[in-house]
Structure 1
Amino acid sequence: MEFLSNISSDKLKEICTEKLGVETVDVLSHHRNHARPEAFLVWTLGLTFVTVISLSAAVGILFMKYMSKKLFDRFITFFVAVGVGTLSGSSVFHLLPQAFHLVQEFDANADHSYLWKSFFAVAGIYLFFIADKLIKVILEARKRCKDYELKRFSGNNSESGVNNRSRQSSDALMAYVKDENAKDSLVNNTDRNEAKESLHQTHSICAHDHDMVYNNGDSVIATVAWMIIFGDGLHNFIDGVSIGASFSESILSGLSVSVAVMCEEFPHELGDVAILVSAGMTLRQALVYNVLSALTCYLGFFIGALFGNLNDEFASYIFAFAGGMFLYISIGCMMPEMKVAMENALEISVKKAIKVLICQICGIFLGLTIM
């Protein structure tokens, strides 16, 4: 007994490693490192973040009042990219590893090689995304250079031809050009209309995309309100469960998931308010309905925090589900939005497309760095 009282914890660990095997030490350290955070800290931090997330639309509206349209577009572009980075980073670096019990946060000797593997997985996604966009920008720039050279060459030829013709031939040529311009204008308008129709037809159904269909006699405001409450309400409920379970597991996990949800919700909640206002609501009504749909996040948080404390396996399944959901929202929903923003900018000019791409890259990098 005297020998055991004088032995240090490091020496005991060394003896256990030699005599009992590494697996015993790993089990002991696993249980030691998974001490639950204090309930007061879990509920205080969790409810604070849920409240901030629920009020993100109202805060965004205050910023919108002092922003020009150009600045607001860049702001939304940047925050969508930040949301993509934080959601995918939280999923790959925190949620999925915790679901598979790979995380030992407070053990200095733990194996953290999964982080490097997670990093390379995320790098593969975004390097190919950036490469794809750069190729499109380069091809579009080359195409426009060729078109410019062709127009300049055609302009020089037509200029010399007109100088060698008689006045009657010149008048006939001008009449022909006007007629062709009229046809081109008609074709362009037709193409524009077809593009708009195509845009409506290919409108994707995602976590925050809302297809509004109205029938005669329906209340526009009531239809949109129920759509927002049930659609976003369900999504916010799952976010709340994820936040509650994460905080019950560890403060670091809770902060990671909360920041990811906040960066993802902020631009999309602004979009929801814009939908409600465009449907005929006043700004005050739109904010009220938006806050109502966000209340389900509190319910989800209560369930996640309570059950996460009761059962470790429950938390693991919640982490796995939330990790999959975060990956889908970031890669399946928000990245296509980034693609559309990039293509719209490319239609205007290559310079604008490059600015949008740089903004998106910075946003993704910031989101991943936060995680």
Structure 2
Amino acid sequence: MILQVSGYLNLMANFIDNFTHGMAVGGSFLFSWRVGILTTLAILIHEVPHEVGDFAILLRAGFTRNEAAKAQLATATSSVVGATAAVLYNTQFLEEKTSWIIPFSAGGFLHIALVSLLPELVQEECPRQSAKQMGSLMFGIAIMAVLTSILEG
């Protein structure tokens, strides 16, 4: 069976995505434990459905379940590499060397939300589906607000 190029492109994008998530986690722990825990939780909540979707993309591209699982595990290791890079890069001058990591990661999330998701939400014609999506968005914001208040207190 010939594997489609879309599977390999997805793996490459997933590798880069996981690397930047790892950098965000590593950099956020360098900033403070509270920010590190919040960043880790936010990324975990984001990654679970994302990885399931990536697994489905690999299956559609012709990967077997075993091959797709191994490929997903391989790309997940890039998050450890990213976190390690963020921590090792911090050998001196925390502000100068790592202050860009958190804004860079936040910008990536904002880009995805505004360029990929928002246009689809605006085009939604079914009011019920639109309300479910908006409710999910508000629920995610509420979860992060609750976690922030718990960890600050």
Q: TM-score scaled to structure 1, two decimals?
A: 0.36
Structure 2's unaligned 5+ residue stretches are 145-153
Higher relative contact order (CA 8 A, sep 6+): 1
- Which of 288, 303, 321 pairs up with 2:70? 288
Counterparts of 2:91 and 2:28 in 1: how far apart (Å)?
10
Assess if the C-alpha contact under 8 Å between 2:7 and 2:57 holds in 1.
Answer: no
CA 1:259–1:338 in 2, change beyond 3 Å: closer, same or farther? farther
Q: Does structure 1 residue 321 correspond to structure 2 residue 114?
A: no
User: Runs of 4 or more off by more than 4 Å in structure 1?
Assistant: none
Rounded to whole Å, the distance in 2 between the matches of 1:252 and 1:366 is: 21
Whichever residue aligns with residue 132 of structure 2, its letter is C
* 1:1-371 → structure 2 map (5 Å cutoff): 219-220=2-3, 223-308=5-90, 310=92, 311-339=94-122, 342=124, 346=125, 353-371=126-144
What residue identity is the alignment partner of 1:315?
A: T
Q: Is the contact made by 1:237 and 1:298 (CA closer than 8 Å) also made in structure 2? A: yes
Offset of 1:225 from its aligned partner? Answer: 4.5
C-alpha separation between the residues in 2 aligned to 1:324 and 1:261? 14
SS in 1 for 2:62: coil
Measure the CA separation in 1 of the matches of 2:76 and 2:139: 26
- Cα distance in 2, alignment partners of residues 329 and 309 from structure 1: 31
Give RMSD over aligned pairs: 2.2
Look up the match of 1:114. Answer: none
What do residues 144-201 of structure 1 show as CA deviations (whole Å, max 9, x unaligned)? xxxxxxxxxxxxxxxxxxxxxxxxxxxxxxxxxxxxxxxxxxxxxxxxxxxxxxxxxx
Structure 1 residue ranges without an equivalent (≥5): 1-217, 347-352
What is the match of residue 148 of structure 2? none
Q: Whole-Å Cα distance in 2 between the matches of residues 249 and 293 of structure 1?
A: 26
Structure 1 residue 339 displacement after superposition:
4.2
CA offset at residue 248 of structure 1? 1.5
CA displacement at 1:312 relative to structure 2: 2.0
Does the 8 Å CA contact 2:23/2:82 hold for their aligned counterparts?
Answer: yes
Percent sequence identity over aligned pairs: 27
**Relative to 1, partners in 2 of residues 1:366 and 1:308: Cα closer, same or farther, differing over 3 Å?**
farther
Post-superposition offset of 1:258 = 1.7
3-state SS in 2 of match to 1:220: coil
Q: CA deviation at 1:314?
A: 1.8
AA at the equivalent of 1:355 = R
CA distance in 2, matches of 1:316, 1:304: 10
Q: Distance in 1 between matches of 2:117 and 2:45?
A: 12
C-alpha separation in 1, matches of 2:120 and 2:46 = 12
Equivalent AA in structure 1 for residue 134 of structure 2: I
